[in-house]
Amino acid sequence: MGEDGKIGMTASYETIITRLDGNVLAATFQAPPLNLIGPEVVRDLVALLDELSAPTAPRVVIFDSADADFFFPHVDLTKVAEYTAEAAKAGGPGDASLGMLFRKLSRLPAVTIAKLRGRARGAGSEFLLACDMRFAARENAILSQPEVGIGTPPGAGGIQHLTRLLGRGRALEAVLTSSDFDADLAERYGWVNRAVPDAELDELVAGIAARIGGFPRDALIAAKSAINAISLPTPAEVRADAALFQQLVRGEKATQRTAELFKQGLQSRGATELALGEALGNLPAVD
Amino acid sequence: MGEDGKIGMTASYETIITRLDGNVLAATFQAPPLNLIGPEVVRDLVALLDELSAPTAPRVVIFDSADADFFFPHVDLTKVAEYTAEAAKAGGPGDASLGMLFRKLSRLPAVTIAKLRGRARGAGSEFLLACDMRFAARENAILSQPEVGIGTPPGAGGIQHLTRLLGRGRALEAVLTSSDFDADLAERYGWVNRAVPDAELDELVAGIAARIGGFPRDALIAAKSAINAISLPTPAEVRADAALFQQLVRGEKATQRTAELFKQGLQSRGATELALGEALGNLPAVD
Amino acid sequence: MGEDGKIGMTASYETIITRLDGNVLAATFQAPPLNLIGPEVVRDLVALLDELSAPTAPRVVIFDSADADFFFPHVDLTKVAEYTAEAAKAGGPGDASLGMLFRKLSRLPAVTIAKLRGRARGAGSEFLLACDMRFAARENAILSQPEVGIGTPPGAGGIQHLTRLLGRGRALEAVLTSSDFDADLAERYGWVNRAVPDAELDELVAGIAARIGGFPRDALIAAKSAINAISLPTPAEVRADAALFQQLVRGEKATQRTAELFKQGLQSRGATELALGEALGNLPAVD
């Protein structure tokens, strides 16, 4: 927490480094060795969203990652039950899913901006899609929804957001191919607001955040709410996607394919995680 | 009015120069000194839309501006009550807003094409968004929704159209930053159909208008109606945005920030209006 | 049918050449002299969609054309009643339209990829829009909805898909101008997923198809269904567009304009079909 923190941000987090600068909070995910979305990250995110829901919270948040290669590689596939239990603490009945947690993120009374370097796959991509804006480093950002290649549709908002942002044809391509998308193609398709040179990314995002941070809070919140009313999926849609994911990710095919990927180094730093899109394409074909 | 006007366009307007060429009406806004959307422009627009609603009216209208720097800078902020009273004359109860007037524009039984040079901000951008198509000069066109920087969400359709055209992330960026968008970025985001070199803009738009002007009217209207049925906001959505704008624009923060901008030359020809996006970013931060 | 066809594709078709390679079916339309969508093509398409609805059918289909100039020029305008009668065989009551046949295509439990070289106009464009993905050869692909220039709105899904994919302004431009769109503009507007050099098109599509073909079928189908639930038009919307088309295409103006185009060589190989967008613009203006 910055020393100049006039706004009441008091918590500290094991996996999120926060720094407050005026009305702008910088939140950097740091969960070594790989920034997997596991129980610890979800626990901290639940707490941070809770704090950001307060009326005196910072009105802008910039999310990035301390790991240059991985913003979020994906969820920790060995701990689906555990991180889901943490996500459940964010809301009421029916909210036991990353999808509902990310929907809460989308509805925060604060403006959220994601700054993407490295890989954001699966729920990592879905975290970014739940933010209000996304800017990506042209040289190294990679986005993908690898779930179908494993054996389940994406379950935490990817289906909903990509269909609305990219349109039917490009959303089907992104989701059904489970391919890695570089920053330029992600920008052309609308997955991110803009791809910019890595050297310009920090300044662009800092400028947008500082600008918005000086604007009247009630206007920001009212405008965001009005846009959300048109563009966010319903809770029923999010819950249906989450239920299907939680069922199929435990199914026989996904279990087999995940086991095969673990043999190749899944969830370790190395070639499989760096080029997961390629690894999925090389798995044995299955019915 | 062109002398060849076989179609019955009889009115003349104080702030709109009209010329009829076959089935195509050219309508040029000329409201010196700045082309502000005030009571006179709205009165004339109400009358023109009325005339264009007739079954014998021209089937294509090209809108542009006589002012090279300003298509429409925004509404006249000293006359919100007055121009709203003029807008109310366009429809029935509940229609007392620019938003509902622009919705009527979107539903005209004529095809409307906006040709943008210079700045279209606030309700100026929303006027363009209500037209059927928008083409912009690459060198000088600027679009923005500056309302949030002043202290209110956009109220005349900007929220509705930008969310549907740009998607959630880019609409949030456009609306929450209140930034000036140049023609190329506006094209990439979908705010305009296309950005073209200034020297090619007139020919492009004239060609499209003449082409459409020769096509069967009932097919044009039926196709436009079918597309509108999918893509236009409901009257309830438009009215809710208008009500919120009319409330917040008179609120304490918007009043203070507007007063500060007037001290800097708002609504006068000069640096503040030319670079309003920058001026908004330099206003003192507020809660 | 490929000799390696382990999956049960048994039918053969007069106007569709099929080759099975593992889980991927290549289906090439060949209906000389011009690949018009007439009763034979529709009959074969009805049968193919029926076969592809089986749970053991190939899970990926690549559609292309044996004619380098024409993917599908448009429907056979001399046989609207006949091809509509064939389309009716695909479904239940209310399904007597290409629009409902194409909606069935969109909902197949197989992934459909269109590879576009040459012209796809009218129902040809609508066939592509009903596929899951569309890739176009930059040098020669042309898309258009010429219907309004003839005298009716598009009737087989074009209104629905283009409005959702392109947004209101660009959909109105595409539909109301009836212009030819080249591959680059089609890509910028979202009409196709991507435009790529002709020399790279086959490899790109083959790679995507093979990749998807190895992924678990239930995940593919569940993901496609979820995206369809958000993005496909309702049967009522499709039926309304079809009814209006079937009425207006037989109306006086469309009949006259079609007759004029036939005098110029419509439905023959030659300048009028190659440059139909231009021919439409040169027809006499009409009210």
List, for residues A196-231, the tens digit of each pLDDT value: 999 999 999 999 999 999 999 999 999 999 999 999
Whether the pLDDT of residue C7 is over 60: the answer is: no
List, for residues B47-77, the tens digit of each pLDDT value: 999 999 998 899 999 999 999 999 999 999 9
- Judged by CB atoms closer than 8 Å, whether chains meet at C219 and A244 is answered as no
Catalytically annotated residue among A40, A86, A126, A273: A126
- Judged by CB atoms closer than 8 Å, whether chains meet at A281 and C190 is answered as no
User: Residue A93's pLDDT is what?
Assistant: 77
**DSSP designation for B79:** -
* Percent of chain C scoring above 70 in pLDDT: 96
**Mutation site for A-interface testing, chosen from B152, B162, B173 by largest number of A Cβ within 10 Å:** B173
Catalytically annotated residue among B40, B51, B147, B187: B147
User: Residue C93's pLDDT is what?
Assistant: 76
Which residues in chain B have Cβ-Cβ distances shorter than 8 Å to A212? 176-177
> Which of C147, C168, C240 is closest, CB to CB, to B231?
C168
How many Å apart are CA A122 and CA A143, to the nearest integer?
8
**Residue A237: active-site member:** no
Backbone angles phi, psi at B116, to 5 degrees: -105, 120
Whether the pLDDT of residue B3 is over 90: the answer is: no
- Judged by CB atoms closer than 8 Å, whether chains meet at B167 and A231 is answered as yes
**Closest CA in chain A for residue B154:** A223
Length of chain B: 287
Asked if the C-beta of A177 comes within 8 angstroms of chain C's C-beta atoms, the answer is yes
Which residues in chain C have Cβ-Cβ distances shorter than 8 Å to A237? 230
User: Residue B94's pLDDT is what?
Assistant: 77
The minimum CA-CA distance between C190 and chain B, rounded to whole Å, is: 10
The minimum CA-CA distance between A255 and chain C, rounded to whole Å, is: 12
Which residues in chain A have Cβ-Cβ distances shorter than 8 Å to B254? 216, 219
Give me the mean pLDDT over the B158-163 stretch.
98
User: Residue B203's pLDDT is what?
Assistant: 98
CB A158 within 8 A of CB A120: no
Interface A-C: count of C-beta contacts within 8 A: 108
Asked if the C-beta of A109 comes within 8 angstroms of chain B's C-beta atoms, the answer is no
Within its chain, how far is the Cα of A212 from the centroid?
A: 22
Please spell the DSSP secondary structure of A25-43, one letter per residue: EEEEE--TTTT-B-HHHHH
Whether the pLDDT of residue C171 is over 70: the answer is: yes
Whether the pLDDT of residue A7 is over 60: the answer is: no
User: Residue C5's pLDDT is what?
Assistant: 40
Which residues in chain A have Cβ-Cβ distances shorter than 8 Å to C192? 169
**Closest CA in chain A for residue B176:** A220
The minimum CA-CA distance between A51 and chain C, rounded to whole Å, is: 33
Higher pLDDT, C154 or A4: C154
- Judged by CB atoms closer than 8 Å, whether chains meet at C134 and A169 is answered as yes
- Judged by CB atoms closer than 8 Å, whether chains meet at A287 and C216 is answered as yes
User: Residue C94's pLDDT is what?
Assistant: 77
How high does pLDDT run on average in chain C?
Answer: 95
Give me the mean pLDDT over the B96-111 stretch.
97
Specify the range with the lowest mean pLDDT, choosing from B55-59, B223-227, C117-121, C211-215: B55-59
The minimum CA-CA distance between A165 and chain C, rounded to whole Å, is: 9
In this prediction, residue C6 has a pLDDT band, given cuts at 50, 70 and 90, of very low
Burial A249-269 (b: 16+ CB within 10 A, else e): beeebbebbbeebeeeebbee
Whether the pLDDT of residue C9 is over 70: the answer is: no
Give the catalytic positions of C in this structure: 126, 147
Length of chain C: 287
List, for residues A173-184, the tens digit of each pLDDT value: 999 999 999 999
Asked if the C-beta of A236 comes within 8 angstroms of chain C's C-beta atoms, the answer is no
User: Residue A10's pLDDT is what?
Assistant: 56
In this prediction, residue B9 has a pLDDT band, given cuts at 50, 70 and 90, of low
Specify the range with the lowest mean pLDDT, choosing from A103-112, B9-18, B63-72: B9-18
**Mutation site for C-interface testing, chosen from A160, A161, A168 by largest number of C Cβ within 10 Å:** A168
Chains sharing 3 or more CB pairs under 8 A with chain C: A, B
What Rg do the C-alpha atoms of chain B give, in angstroms? 18
**Closest CA in chain C for residue B161:** C168
Write down all domains in chain C, each with its CATH number in brackets: 16-202+209-282 (3.90.226.10)
Asked if the C-beta of C28 comes within 8 angstroms of chain B's C-beta atoms, the answer is no
User: Residue C4's pLDDT is what?
Assistant: 40
What does the H/E/C string look like for chain C? CCCCCCCCCCCCCCCEEEEEECCEEEEEECCCCCCCECHHHHHHHHHHHHHHCCCCCCCEEEEEECCCCEEECCECCCCHHHHHHHHHCCCCCCCCCHHHHHHHHHCCCCEEEEEECCEEECHHHHHHHHCCEEEEECCCCEEECCHHHHCCCCCCCHHHHHHHHHCHHHHHHHHHHCCCEEHHHHHHHCCCCEEECHHHHHHHHHHHHHHHHCCCHHHHHHHHHHHHHHHCCCHHHHHHHHHHHHHHCCCHHHHHHHHHHHHCCCCCCCHHHHCHHHHHHHCCCCC
Closest CA to C145 of C160, C167, C133, C131: C160
Which residues in chain B have Cβ-Cβ distances shorter than 8 Å to C171? 227, 231
Which residues in chain B have Cβ-Cβ distances shorter than 8 Å to C283? 214
**Closest CA in chain A for residue C191:** A169
Whether the pLDDT of residue A2 is over 60: the answer is: no
Burial class (CB in 10 A: 0-12, 13-18, 19+), C49: buried
Chains sharing 3 or more CB pairs under 8 A with chain B: A, C
User: Residue B2's pLDDT is what?
Assistant: 37
- Judged by CB atoms closer than 8 Å, whether chains meet at A224 and B171 is answered as no
User: Residue B93's pLDDT is what?
Assistant: 77
**Residue A260: active-site member:** no
- Which residues 6+ apart lie within 8 Å of A111 measured at CB? A59, A60, A61, A132, A133, A209, A212, A220, A224, B172, B176
Asked if the C-beta of C217 comes within 8 angstroms of chain A's C-beta atoms, the answer is yes
Whether the pLDDT of residue A85 is over 90: the answer is: yes
CB C4 within 8 A of CB C36: no
